[in-house]
Amino acid sequence: MELERILHKHGFGTRKGCRAIVRQGRVTVNGAPCADPFADFATAGLVFTVDGVAWPYREFATLMLYKPVDYECSRKPKHHPGVLTLLPAPLRERDVQPIGRLDEDTTGLLLITDDGRLNHVLSSPKHKAAKIYLATTKHPVDAAQINSLLAGVVLHDDPLPVRAAAAEVVGENLLRLTLTEGKYHQVKRMVAAAGNRVEALHRAALGELTLPQDMQPGEWRWLEAADFAKLGLEEKRP
């Protein structure tokens, strides 16, 4: 693929603007400077830099973000900054969007992509991706509440009971809850229906995918092949 097209695909501006970036000597490819915007490169394993910042070639941009509190997952946030403002401008230019949503006061693992097919698969109830949350509750969690969550609680807008795939006490006021659905405010509403209240909420995992221990709120990183496997998507590759 021509270098100009690579830069354009990765959100570095118009084709004309990308040609200018290359001719200004601001780009290296696999460690070597390149001033020819029409130079052709194999994309497999390719890493280029713009102004000293390294970018791996990605057919689709798929990444994980450690969502902080007081950020909205909407592309048109109303009351707080949007999570996309935490990403570099080239990624935003690729028209990435969150896969599902976390409430503005919820923290934790959020996936973001410009791959529409992947977004559909992971958002679909058919995929049944396990979403694991840690909920800090107002009152101590007891066995009766756990039993209610596992047996199923009735939400005001749904006559059918909604069940947790797993629920366990991990602290006096800390509940670990696993869901395979994605209803609006589901964790908070289920906990309320079981007789308690969520004071803070953190998404710890999607399937077997967790946030790296050294990752801080507001940070992001690319998803790699091993990460896709943890989501039950072995056929996907970065």
Q: Identify the band that residue 89 occupies on the pLDDT scale cut at 50, 70 and 90.
A: very high
Number of domains in the chain: 3
Residue 40 pLDDT greater than 60, yes or no? yes
**pLDDT the model gives residue 214:** 93
Residue 139 lies in a domain: yes
Residue 125 pLDDT greater than 80, yes or no? no
**pLDDT the model gives residue 181:** 82
What tokens were used for 212?
Answer: 């790296």
**Mean pLDDT confidence for 15-33:** 97
Quickly list DSSP for 153-184. EEETTEEEEE--SEEEEEETTEEEEEES---T
Q: Check 51, 70, 103, 142 and give the catalytic one.
A: 103
**pLDDT the model gives residue 234:** 60
Contact of 110 with 64, CB cutoff 8 Å: yes
Residue 217 pLDDT greater than 90, yes or no? yes
Residue 238 lies in a domain: no
Residue 236 pLDDT greater than 70, yes or no? no
Residue 45 pLDDT greater than 70, yes or no? yes
What is the chain's mean pLDDT, rounded? 92
Residue 235 lies in a domain: no
Looking at the structure, do residues 99 and 77 belong to the same domain, yes or no?
A: yes
Looking at the structure, do residues 173 and 77 belong to the same domain, yes or no?
A: no
**Mean pLDDT confidence for 19-24:** 97
What tokens were used for 23?
Answer: 């001719």
In 3D, which of 195, 186, 184, 85 has the Cα closest to residue 140? 195
Q: What is the pLDDT of residues 128-187, one digit of tens each?
A: 788 999 999 999 999 999 999 999 999 887 788 999 999 999 998 999 999 988 777 899
**pLDDT the model gives residue 183:** 78
Other beta carbons less than 10 A from residue 59's beta carbon:
11
Looking at the structure, do residues 168 and 155 belong to the same domain, yes or no?
A: yes
Residue 236 lies in a domain: no
Contact of 225 with 123, CB cutoff 8 Å: no
Structure letter (DSSP) for residue 127: G
Looking at the structure, do residues 135 and 200 belong to the same domain, yes or no?
A: yes
The domain that contains 158 carries what CATH number?
3.30.70.1560
Task: Give the structural domain span for 70.
Answer: 62-125+208-230
**Mean pLDDT confidence for 61-85:** 91
pTM (predicted TM-score): 0.90
Looking at the structure, do residues 154 and 93 belong to the same domain, yes or no?
A: no
Residue 233 pLDDT greater than 80, yes or no? no
* Residue 103 among the catalytic residues: yes
Looking at the structure, do residues 96 and 118 belong to the same domain, yes or no?
A: yes
Residue 126 pLDDT greater than 80, yes or no? no
What tokens were used for 91?
Answer: 């990624």
What percent of the chain has a predicted confidence (pLDDT) above 70?
A: 98
Q: Identify the band that residue 235 occupies on the pLDDT scale cut at 50, 70 and 90.
A: low
**pLDDT the model gives residue 157:** 74
